[in-house]
Amino acid sequence: MTVLRETGLQQTGLQQVRLRQTGLRQTGLLQILAGLRWRGVAKLLVAVLLTGSQWGLAGSRVAEAQIQPYCNFSAEDITQKQTFLVGALQGDRNAGNRYRNLIEQHGDRLRRCRRESWLKNQAVWLRLYPCDARPGAIEYLMDQIVNRGYNQVYVEVFGGGQVLLPRAENNTPWPSVVRTPGFENRDLLAEAIAKGRERGLQVYAWMFSMNFGHTYAQRPGAEQILARNGRGQNSMTFNGATGINSLGEVVSEEVFIDPYNPQAKLEFYNLAQAIARRRPDGMLFDYIRYPKGNGNASVAGRVQDLWVYSPASQQALLQRALNPSGQDLIRRFLQRGYVTAQDIQDIATAYPLDGQPLWQGRSPDPLYASLTPDQARPSLQTELWQLSVAHAFQGVLDFLTAGTTPAQQVGIPAGVVFFPEGNQTVGAGGYDSRLQFWERFPSNLEWHPMSYATCGRADCIVRQVQRVLAGAPAGTRVMPVLAGTWGRSVSNRPPLETQMQSIRQSAPQINAISHFALSWQDPEGDRTRKSCRLP
């Protein structure tokens, strides 16, 4: 059978990119079909020292009592470091020197602790806001992350229709996070990387991928770029399931693009290049999928349910035909969602030299000539459905490759974020509407399964992790993402430490875990940072 070819890269100005990912060669049609069949901050810090906070004294007492095994720092360490930071921000040189020495010491202690721990990497997901451009804000944030024992932080660089690039250097279609006059050259990502590394943190860049955000949809001509299903809907008009963002807020304004659209692919590639130039320690790609539907719309069971009706995707699907009769039959299938015996008779009459309809992934059937149209129709319709599903997912894979290529060209580790259930089959021939066939993701990427199950216990979360481990090729780095907070249950999930210990017991090969998100652990601090305004 013929393998589904990469599409769109040749038309997007990426001709110089040779996509050499090991996994890409394994995810063509043959394999896919097989898988189917912040000075004001000083005041804030002083207040923290005087009153304590979820991040300060009160929070650290809980941490000291309950999560010492996770490389967190004592209340005394935290108070001393905060005192020196406040002094440094107020112009005390001696405090500044002592502060710098202390963060270096803490970085060394953190590295030693992680080397000796079963959990070699413990990460937290972080969103930055405009107020984080104030003096001392990034330092304070990174200190708190270290205080909790994290040695990695995943900073959102593209999400909510905004990019974490300085306004003066932002050549992307999306607005910069910091847009206040006078701050045009502030590069929060570069600052976060530098300040994090000073403290022994690895700083990853976390990007939304196929979800381009609401601001993108307001651009002239965007309608042709957005993903569209067979009912003429895009993700804003679709009966989509609401999600939870990094603030723990319910969101529904997800704007998914057609991964086959060359303009979308080029714009995302250029954004990934701009992020890679800042040399984060890794780049993570989220939203490598289609929308999640509600109710019946959560299942893709007919071709009209698939997001293959935008101009670029539809054209690419038609081009997968290997002869005219194959293209004609694909077109009829897209238009109606099925083919009839009369359709098969019509194409046989119109294209007598073809013999039988062919497309990528379909081998000629030696018995086809002996079949009547009624006899040939069931298998042809099944194969057209499988071709359409494979085509939809191949677009996701090609888009992921376009994003990860800038990172891999300069040696930056790349990873993909996904839902363990996103690849499920449903009923007879149906699929989870996200079409997130993660088992086909390249195994040279880090795999970050969002293990967010809610059953009040850890066992359902563990089952999600085990499901991914069972489907991952040997040698794949699986790094589960957990939701929650320390020391208490939230949203019907047990405390983080309970979740981690359960994973350790059931999957001892796991040595890296991340926590979604910083905002969940300090919601009040997050709200303050978000609502604050730069001068």
Task: Report yes or no on 35 lying in a domain.
Answer: no
The whole-number pLDDT of residue 68 equals: 58
Q: End-to-end CA distance of the chain, in Å?
A: 63
CA 211 to chain centre: 9
Dihedral (C-alpha) 24, 314, 252, 431: value to the nearest 10 degrees? -60
Under DSSP, the state recorded for 335 is H
Determine contact, residues 111/200, Cβ cutoff 8 Å.
Answer: yes
Task: Report yes or no on 54 lying in a domain.
Answer: no
The more confident residue out of 29 and 269 is 269
Angle subtended at Cα 240 by Cα 480 and Cα 302, rounded to the nearest 5 degrees: 95
The more confident residue out of 4 and 501 is 501
Q: Give CA–CA dist 329/404, Å, rounded.
A: 35
| Residue at token pair 């929308």 | 291
pLDDT tens figures, 314-337: 999 999 999 999 999 999 999 999
**Phi, psi for residue 416 in degrees, rounded to 5:** -120, 140
pLDDT tens figures, 475-518: 999 999 999 999 999 999 999 999 999 999 999 999 999 999 99
Task: Report yes or no on 135 lying in a domain.
Answer: yes
Number of domains the chain is built from: 1
* CATH number, residue 154: 3.20.20.80
Task: Report yes or no on 80 lying in a domain.
Answer: yes
Rounded to two decimals, what is the model's pTM? 0.89
> Is 250 exposed, middle or buried (CB count within 10 Å of its CB: 0-12, 13-18, 19+)?
exposed
Task: Report yes or no on 384 lying in a domain.
Answer: no
Residues in the chain: 535
Q: Tell me which H or E stretch contains 431.
A: strand 430-432
pLDDT at 13 over 70: no
Q: Residue 499: count other Cβ atoms within 10 Å of its Cβ.
A: 24
Mean pLDDT to the nearest integer, 109-132? 97
Q: Which two tokens stand for residue 55?
A: 């991040």
pLDDT at 93 over 70: yes
Under DSSP, the state recorded for 118 is S
Task: Report yes or no on 337 lying in a domain.
Answer: no
Task: Report yes or no on 260 lying in a domain.
Answer: yes
Determine contact, residues 313/395, Cβ cutoff 8 Å.
Answer: yes
> Percentage of residues in the chain with pLDDT exceeding 70?
85
Task: Report yes or no on 262 lying in a domain.
Answer: yes
Domain range for 195 is: 75-311+390-531
The whole-number pLDDT of residue 535 equals: 82
Mean pLDDT to the nearest integer, 23-52? 44
